[in-house]
Structure 1
Amino acid sequence: MTSPADPAVAGPRIPEAVHRRRWAILGVLMLSLLIVVLDNSILNVAIKTISTPAPTGLGATQSELEWAINAYTLVFAGLLFSAGLLGDRLGRKRVLLGGLAVFGIGSALAASSGSPEQLIAFRALMGLGAAFVMPATLAVLMNVFERDEQPKAIGIWAGGVGLAIAIGPITGGVLLDHFWWGSVFLINVPIVVLALALMLWLVPDSRDPNPGRIDPVGVVLSVVGLVLLVYGIIKGGQLADFTDPKVLSTIGAGLVVLAAFVVFEKRSDHPSIDVTYFKNKVFSAAIAALALVFFALMGVTFFSVFYTQSVRGYSPLQTGLLMLPLAAAQLIFAPRARLVVNRFGNKATTTGGLLLLAATLAAFAALESDTPVWALEVMFFLMGAGMAHVMTPVSVVIMQALPREKAGSASALSNTFRQVGGALGIAVLGSVLSTAYRNGIEDKLGVLPAGARHTAGESIEATLGVAEKLGPQGKALIAPAHDAFLHAMHITALWGAGVAVVGAIVVAVFLPGKPPADEKDEQGRELVTAAE
């Protein structure tokens, strides 16, 4: 046990009553985390069903599906830092309870959506609730564990992400096999109720004695800038033309607003994001690695569902089971990644994880419609292993960069960039996929009326939907649709691999190597201060 006088401990010693139940508290926090991550992992296997015309689905287009995912992630990312500050000011437990309640209400409303537009709006409401849940979980964790136990606790916390990835697709598949598509959102409600009850019983409250002020202007600028940027990217993929004036003007406006956000934050005396943190090269490299991992992963997950269901013909449940090795690797390696860091250092561990992820993503470029299933399973397992050896070490670096009383801010920063990276991954790689697919299928759609040609060329689901309506005549479109999608998937996978390689280069250059043995207890602090 670390003594109160130990300099490794930031802030006052944790009360004994809280310390005794710290592992039970971690379990409740992981349940809250499970809900937030579960939602996206469930949605991954449901996107094909939602794209199916009513009454089976909502008939959502690929761009609407991207927005259904990104409405959640952009609101989530845009509000995370302010949510962390509110937790610091009002109390993490109170904010966590409120966020869970909003998330549960949004889930119930999303389950009853009657159109893609309603689903997008209610997903945004769920993102609002999730923004208050995610930073509070890590902030509470940092305030119930002593510093010497924090890396282990964060490793278990990160393993909870793997658990959610495992449960989500399988649960979603079971629900879709027996109920309507809205059940994948309604399942959140009983979990929310259980988490609220346990939280009221077990979790202590904590707050920052000197909390920061809320920055409404910064929040508005960041959300507007990200929405404009992502809208322009998705619109470019939908039109298969990134030179279209509307696309260029929207992307340009988004970049201008985001630049204004950075300038405003630098001049503000109460910024949403303290940009001075990024002067530290080690801290910036850790944040960048986290963002790039989720950029690649979210984009690849988006297209892999269409590969397994639209091309291979697997059911949602079978798709969920196919993704089980990805989650299993997370569960196995995330809690143990700190042991690899202790032996080889953060630089070697994180660089190796990113290179493994890049190699796995590149392997998607070799997949065909008849590739053995075991090869896909190996790829998913290696992808999960690579992720685990990136997420845990960089999370420790980021969370230990600030004093314990600023844990909400550190958590919000890591999760903001995680969500922004994921949203941009879906937007960019989804647009690459859409553009490549349209270019590959366009010359095969000449038999269709001009009005239907553009819609049919947006995605493989749109083409197959038109083919089904045409009856026997439409069968001629099925093989070209599969070929065009595989070609588009190969291109998109290589883009994802390239992003992971960039991440590996960044951490190899800027993260420090293995610290001396007498500094291991202060590893997190050393990593952050090494470049200052």
Structure 2
Amino acid sequence: MAHDPHHASHDEAPAGPVTADGGTADPAGTTRRGHGNPWVVLAAVALGTMMEALDGTVVAVANPVIAVDLDTELTTLQWVTNGYMLAVASFLITAGKIGDRYGHKKVFLIGMAGFAASSALAGLADSIGALIFWRVVQGISGALLAPSGLAVLKSTFPKDKLKIAIGVWSGVSALAMAAGPFIGGVTVDLLGWRWVFYVNVVVCAAALAVGGWAIRATRPEGAGRPFDVPGVLLLTGALFSLVWGIIQVPGHGWGHAYPLGSFAVAVVLGVAFVLREHRTREALLPLSLFRLRTVSTGTTVLLIGGFATFGASFYLALYLQQVHGFGPLRAGLGLLPFTVLFGVGAPTGAVLNQRFGPRVPLTLGLVLIAGALLGLSGMTEDSSYHAMWPFLAPLGVGMGMVAPTAIEMIVSSAPGHLSGVASGLQQTALMLGGVLGTAALGSMISSRVSGVLPGRLADEGVGDPLAGILRGATEVIAQGVVPVPPGTPRMTAEAAARAGHAAFMDGFQMAMLGGTVIVVIGALIALLAPRLETAPADRPGEAVPTTH
């Protein structure tokens, strides 16, 4: 947003001029070293954002260990991840608006404190119900801190440095999501699954200390505006119903009353929200934002990118642990090429974005992701790890190019007083894509397993009653687990395991092919990304940033 010296936001407590070392001087002339320093602020915000993003994927590798320790089924265990993502996805846009209304520093620090407390309590959980509850609280806290973190950067960095800051912020966020399975594997193997949550407390404490000191409290531009409470309730309800319905799909199918009822509620609330936003003067999420191709294209691409990477990484982790018998640490190491090469894709995408605009890195990144999924679709239960890892490379590079580019498109296009909402929008798209990817790919796997399992059991010579038991456990086998009852003769158990794993891989192949088609559609959409777009100012004296 262009700086207007006569109409800018004012500090609640004037910070004074910036000193040569990046600190600020108070009115008495004493230097407060580090206070307001943009790079110190970026470090604090990046730490907080890293924790919120990391916790969306970090428990993927820990899930089998948690299942044994807390004695729970995999269908229930999925809520350790889905409960967190449900809370985040439902609340992100509203949380961004809360920051726009009441101050982003305040909301960021409250979210950070809540995240630390809920992480500690999740680590102490002695039942699966308690763990899921605290994961939901974690999600709400993460939704508070994430959008306000980006808005803090927009109010802290000068215009010529803001793009760099957004690139670092978005890169850290997306890299944390990608690194989740590896970090989770190392932590679980060395310290136990509870430390996946305990480590958050240490990082959050550091971010609170640095952020509380370095971030300047500024009066938000939207502080005097009414808060659209009906819009908040309608949007939150619509997103909650949509994500809830998607999560129900793997266990019930798309045509079951549970997901269909949830989708119907989501549609009704969504339509009511749109009508509300058209009528109100102070919309929670101004629909005019989506008339900008930078926003609509970036949001769609993030949704599809999250679909592919969340979904693929979830089932690849299960494949390594359940089919190949890898431990958590080894599985995390197995996914390392994806994590490391994400770090290669991010700066590469930034360079391409700077030179050619977002169309090139978005399209190229999605083509690489599609190629990776197509390659993974050729894997079988007998494939070695060496047949898998070469396809993790384009998956990592591709998402590394896509995520920061699309995020920068969205947040740079939004007016300053909607910076929190824009940040919430892009993260909602990524989270919603992740939930949809896990559910949709899981549904494809489950459907295929149901169809091929009887034949696979017959091929291995597994007869009744064991074959009957396994045919009734397709949902579990669709997670890569073959529930052979204790006491089954070794030869029969091995034959059943081969049949179950072969059926799982049949489903995995179908899911990867389905994902490939969706990502190719995303690449075609990315071709619509504009090189340059300027939104009309929606208030006197306010210029809207452009995306190059």
TM-score, normalised to structure 1's length? 0.87
Asked if residue 252 in structure 1 is aligned to residue 298 in structure 2, the reply is no
Q: CA deviation at 1:133?
A: 1.0
Equivalent in the alignment of 1:400: 412
Quick one: which amino acid aligns to residue 296 of structure 1? Answer: A
Contact 1:83/1:132 (CA < 8 Å) preserved in 2? yes
Q: Secondary structure at the match of 2:381?
A: coil
Aligned counterpart in structure 2 of residue 105 of structure 1, from 117, 120, 124: 117
- Aligned CA distance change for structure 1 residues 149 and 257 (closer, same or farther; 3 Å): same
Q: Distance in 1 between matches of 2:494 and 2:323?
A: 14
Aligned counterpart in structure 1 of residue 66 of structure 2, from 47, 50, 75: 50
Contact 1:208/1:406 (CA < 8 Å) preserved in 2? no
Equivalent in the alignment of 1:437: 449
Q: Distance in 2 between matches of 1:475 and 1:24?
A: 56
- Aligned CA distance change for structure 1 residues 198 and 332 (closer, same or farther; 3 Å): same
Equivalent in the alignment of 2:539: none
Contact 1:360/1:379 (CA < 8 Å) preserved in 2? yes
Quick one: which amino acid aligns to residue 27 of structure 1? Answer: A
Q: Secondary structure at the match of 1:44?
A: coil
After superposition, residues 281-320 of structure 1 pair within 5 angstroms as 281-320=293-332
Quick one: which amino acid aligns to residue 413 of structure 1? Answer: L
Equivalent in the alignment of 2:97: 85
Q: What is the root-mean-square deviation of aligned Cα atoms in Å?
A: 3.1
Q: Distance in 2 between matches of 1:238 and 1:345?
A: 42
Q: Which has the higher helix share?
A: 1
Q: Distance in 2 between matches of 1:513 and 1:453?
A: 53
Quick one: which amino acid aligns to residue 507 of structure 2? Answer: A
Equivalent in the alignment of 2:132: 120
After superposition, residues 50-199 of structure 1 pair within 5 angstroms as 50-51=66-67, 53=68, 56-62=69-75, 64-161=76-173, 163-165=175-177, 168-199=180-211
Equivalent in the alignment of 2:18: 16
- Of 73-82 and 484-493, deviating more is 73-82
Q: CA deviation at 1:177?
A: 1.9
Equivalent in the alignment of 2:477: 459
Q: Distance in 1 between matches of 2:82 and 2:475?
A: 22
Q: Which runs of 5+ in 1 are unaligned?
A: 516-523
Equivalent in the alignment of 1:229: 242
Quick one: which amino acid aligns to residue 238 of structure 2? Answer: G
Q: Distance in 1 between matches of 2:276 and 2:508?
A: 40
Q: Secondary structure at the match of 2:326?
A: coil
Contact 1:456/1:462 (CA < 8 Å) preserved in 2? no
Equivalent in the alignment of 2:228: 215
Asked if residue 498 in structure 1 is aligned to residue 517 in structure 2, the reply is yes
- Aligned CA distance change for structure 1 residues 117 and 207 (closer, same or farther; 3 Å): same
Contact 1:346/1:514 (CA < 8 Å) preserved in 2? no
Q: Secondary structure at the match of 2:347?
A: coil
Q: CA deviation at 1:10?
A: 9.2
Q: CA deviation at 1:11?
A: 7.7
Q: Secondary structure at the match of 2:390?
A: helix
Contact 2:54/2:177 (CA < 8 Å) preserved in 1? yes
Equivalent in the alignment of 2:493: 474
After superposition, residues 314-333 of structure 1 pair within 5 angstroms as 314-333=326-345
Q: CA deviation at 1:360?
A: 1.0
Q: CA deviation at 1:129?
A: 0.3
Post-superposition CA distance 1:420-454 (Å, at most 9, x none)? 22222222222222332333335648524977753
Quick one: which amino acid aligns to residue 82 of structure 2? Answer: N
Equivalent in the alignment of 2:529: 511
Q: Distance in 1 between matches of 2:320 and 2:168?
A: 30
Contact 2:52/2:142 (CA < 8 Å) preserved in 1? yes
Q: Distance in 1 between matches of 2:228 and 2:271?
A: 16
Q: Secondary structure at the match of 2:414?
A: coil
Asked if residue 262 in structure 1 is aligned to residue 281 in structure 2, the reply is no
- Aligned CA distance change for structure 1 residues 343 and 80 (closer, same or farther; 3 Å): same
Q: CA deviation at 1:316?
A: 0.8
- Aligned CA distance change for structure 1 residues 226 and 513 (closer, same or farther; 3 Å): closer
Q: Distance in 2 between matches of 1:371 and 1:264?
A: 53
Contact 2:375/2:391 (CA < 8 Å) preserved in 1? yes
Q: Percent same amino acid at aligned positions?
A: 29
Contact 1:89/1:207 (CA < 8 Å) preserved in 2? no
Q: Secondary structure at the match of 1:334?
A: helix
Q: Distance in 2 between matches of 1:228 and 1:210?
A: 29
Q: Distance in 2 between matches of 1:75 and 1:313?
A: 32
- Aligned CA distance change for structure 1 residues 207 and 49 (closer, same or farther; 3 Å): farther
Asked if residue 34 in structure 1 is aligned to residue 34 in structure 2, the reply is no
Q: CA deviation at 1:372?
A: 4.2
Q: Distance in 2 between matches of 1:221 and 1:367?
A: 44
Higher Rg of the two aligned structures: 2
Contact 1:81/1:416 (CA < 8 Å) preserved in 2? yes
Q: Which runs of 5+ in 2 are unaligned?
A: 24-36, 534-543
Equivalent in the alignment of 1:380: 392
Contact 2:88/2:143 (CA < 8 Å) preserved in 1? yes
Q: Distance in 2 between matches of 1:65 and 1:506?
A: 35
Post-superposition CA distance 1:507-526 (Å, at most 9, x none)? 21x212479xxxxxxxx944
- Aligned CA distance change for structure 1 residues 247 and 202 (closer, same or farther; 3 Å): closer
